[in-house]
Chains A and B, each alone.
Chain A
Amino acid sequence: MSLLWISNARVIDPAAKRDGKGDLFIADGRFVARFTPAQKKQARKIDARGLVACPGLVDIHVHFREPGQTHKETIQTGSWAAAAGGFTTVVCMPNTSPVADSAGTIEYIHNAIERGAVVHVYPTGCITVGQKGEQLAPTGSLKRAGVVAITDDGRCVQNNEIMRRAVEYAKMFALPVMDHCQDEAMTQNAAMNEGVMSTRLGLRGWPHAAEDVIVSRNVILSTYTGAHIHLQHISSKYSVDLIRRAKGRGVSITAEATPHHLALTDAVLAGYDPSYKMNPPLRTEEDRRALIEGLRDGTLDCVATDHAPHTDYEKDKEFDYAPFGVIGLETALPIVLDVLFRQGKFSLPEIIALMTCKPARLLGLPAGTLAAGAAADVALFDPGERWRYDAEAGFSKSANSPWQGQTLTGRVKTTVVSGRIVYDGAKIVV
């Protein structure tokens, strides 16, 4: 019997409203309430004095690029980056090559997960065939193949009739539909937020109205069909307000915010650095503050990274030509601690809930809990440790991080997946 004993930690389990000094006992990959004296002698012990022990973090929005773009990331390297960031459960977007719009591709992804992943990885499938927004993908087969949601992430479904039928159909399988809210006609060739900064820099603007229009559309379709629509990476203040009012009426809408939208604004684009180019784009200080308030009052349900790896030679280009996206798994916790804990005065349990039980519940994932009997996924972190982040030396295959070279506060020390240490604070343990 494999036994792991994490002692003297500040144990925070928001799902059980637990926050206090204590121990975690893990036997054969699952939490148990206590060890017998004999087990205590036998167990491998981690002294977690000064550390927080919480459920392994959950990220419902990552791009692991497999199949087809494995020069950027693989399911294996992506899972390493997750483990190093304290994440034990991640949900992969289907915009791979080919896109994950068939059960066969999902099976391929499952095989890759089986072969290489050190954390729990769940696939999503496409809403439409080829992410073209024209014809529904075989949602039932995708569900049977094991997807936890459907989404055309990155290629928002533009046709309202297709979207209406997609959510109505997915509801039959209790499958959430995740939407990247972007009106394409309003954002042709857009590279950054539309406003004073884009005016100064002469870059094409991506107006927040293009997000708000689709958020409204989704609120309307969710109301009309009763289907659950999850709104990905919300970036606009106006959208936060739309979601707040919809939730007030009981509409089945959920939403996420990314660490980069919580921490940064379009002011950082003055030097045309593509490390800050993402979709949706960084917006204004007013928007950023609205996202934080949205997380505070529950309008936004969780934090998700939108971890989007690109190689240096793809990203190191003229701003207009560089692809959208930044990696985020290895920096999410310190950034969120900085914005929400140290600046935003959220409590640690509130923050951990946004990164564990809340996203897990949203997609019905078996994660985000320290309850006896559950899979023993744990993140141990030091909320006060200062460290220099070097993306090149990180575990993701790519290094396109806006926080490259910066000193961050809060560091993951150990990550445990199903009772096994997969990250020891320095390296992935395979």
Chain B
Amino acid sequence: MPWNRRNLIAIEELSRAEIDQVHTTAAAFKKILQRSVKKVPALRGKTIVNLFLEPSTRTRMAFEMAAKRLSADVISFDSASSSTTKGETLRDTAQNIQALKADMIVLRHSAAGSPLYLSRLLNIPVINAGDGAHEHPTQALLDTFTMTEHLGSLKGRKVVILGDILFSRVARSNIWALTKLEADVTLVGPSTLVPHWFTDLGVKVSHDLKSALADAEVVMLLRIQHERQASSHFPSLGEYTSMFGLNKTRASWLNPKAIIMHPGPINRGVEIDSDLADSDRSVILEQVSNGIAVRMAALYLCAGAHPEPVLPPA
């Protein structure tokens, strides 16, 4: 199937077939990553600019790694060192990058909608690496990829997303991806962080941890982003942990084969008990590893037509 999308902005606009295609491509790249020589020439001669206007460790490293595995040249750019701190607009920054003949931009930005805005200004691919509380498409693609590796088809599978949903782009992208993959999704957290409007997106909303976790096959924890929240959303981190933190007792309510996921960075002892994070049910580090293959797939597909076949025979 040809991939017709130049930009990867939001899971909301992807079809089921496109999600499957990213997963299939990622699976092929994952094999390459298990070899001793982990590099393919797919994007040789291309320059990818990682424009990270909001702090990020994991995502930025994964994108850099993915680009390098594809033999692209990578320039990474963060807000502290860029001219945005000198008052340059995103439009001007982007136009300058295009004038420097970059072939692709990976954008992380605190303002929702900015990758879409950027994609309208430029004629090179724009990959969204997280925009405000809107979407983080590659995260959801790697999360669903990881879930599929463990569970097979996600159809009808009970997935719980637990934590700060309101401010989470990871939650939104996963909601779209999981509903397109026909999973049974329940959002759980304090009522102030899981507003009822989410039901409009085709998922359930619950504030009762016990019934929500009962027999769930996946629980995805989200970090409490205390730096984003006004103090009014919940009383304290301590109360959050006592009401919604995942501990051993609560984990016992899950399906015995359930996996525990977290997009990171984790706050040990806040949303998750430290031991659980390191337990064999936790796939948190697998998510990180899969993030490279999935991002290779996203970069490769969006980079468009390729002169020679680069995927190894299956």
Chain A residues proximal to chain B, CB less than 8 Å:
188, 195-196, 198-204, 271-272, 313, 316-321
Contacts and interface: CB of A to CB of B under 8 A. Distances in A.
Q: Which 10 A-B pairs have the closest CB atoms?
A: A272-B113, A202-B134, A202-B133, A318-B111, A320-B111, A199-B197, A202-B112, A318-B114, A196-B200, A319-B113
Nearest to A313: B89
A271 B111 contact: no
Interface in B216-236: 230
B108 to A, nearest CB: 13
Nearest to B92: A313
B182 to A, nearest CB: 20
B133 A317 contact: no
B227 to A, nearest CB: 13
B90 A318 contact: yes
Report whether over half of chain A's contact residues are helix, strand or loop; otherwise say mixed. loop
Contacts of B133: 202-204
Max count, chain B CB within 10 A of own CB: residue among A198, A200, A203, A318: A318
B3 interface: no
A202 B230 contact: no
Contacts of B112: 201-203, 272, 319-320
A274 to B, nearest CB: 9
Interface residues of B, number: 25
B69 interface: no
Given A199-B195, A201-B134, A318 B169 contact: no
18 contacts: A199-B198, A199-B200, A199-B201, A201-B113, A202-B112, A202-B134, A203-B113, A204-B133, A272-B112, A272-B117, A316-B89, A317-B90, A317-B117, A318-B114, A318-B117, A319-B113, A319-B117, A320-B132
Nearest to B171: A202
Interface in B100-142: 109-114, 116-117, 131-135
Nearest to A321: B111
B12 A318 contact: no
A378 to B, nearest CB: 43
Max count, chain B CB within 10 A of own CB: residue among A196, A202, A316, A320: A202
B91 A202 contact: no
Contact of A202 (B132, B195, B200): B132
Nearest to A203: B112
A317 B135 CA distance: 19
Contact of B201 (A200, A319, A320): A200
Contacts of A198: 197
Nearest to B167: A202
Interface string B268-304: 0000000000000000000000000000000000000
Contacts of B135: 202
A318 B92 CA distance: 12
Contacts of B30: none
A202 B169 CA distance: 7
Given A202-B131, A202-B134, A271 B89 contact: no
Contacts of A200: 12, 172, 200-201
A316 B121 CA distance: 11
A318 B109 contact: yes
A78 B236 CA distance: 50
Contacts of B90: 317-318
A394 B172 CA distance: 41
B91 to A, nearest CB: 7
B172 A202 contact: yes
B191 to A, nearest CB: 14
